[in-house]
């Protein structure tokens, strides 16, 4: 059986550590947005992302774009 990989996205908080090689870079926060389901053209094993506070939530199998409902 193929190995399963899991990941999540956590937007950085104020004062989060910055890697040394980015020390002089101008960092701009990402504008995360939730999207609905998308086709799995490559037929790989995909799970859903964990909810992201203020951005992405779920109600059963429905994706909720928390950001746009505020």
What are the tens digits of pLDDT across the range 17-40? 888 998 888 878 888 888 877 788
Cα-based distances in Å from 33 to 17, 19, 21, 36, 55: 24, 25, 28, 10, 6
Instruction: Please state whether the predicted TM-score (pTM) of the whole model is above 0.75.
Output: no
Question: How many whole angstroms separate alpha carbon 66 and alpha carbon 4?
Answer: 28
Return the pLDDT at 3.
Answer: 64
Residues 6+ apart with CB under 8 A from 49: 7, 8, 9, 56
């Amino acid at each position: 059986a193929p190995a399963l990989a899991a990941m999540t996205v956590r937007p950085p908080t104020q004062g989060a550590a910055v890697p040394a090689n980015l020390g002089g870079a101008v960092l701009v926060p990402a504008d995360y947005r939730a999207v609905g389901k998308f086709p799995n053209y490559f037929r790989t094993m995909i799970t859903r992302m964990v909810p992201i506070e203020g951005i992405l939530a779920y109600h059963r199998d429905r994706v909720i774009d928390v950001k746009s409902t505020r």
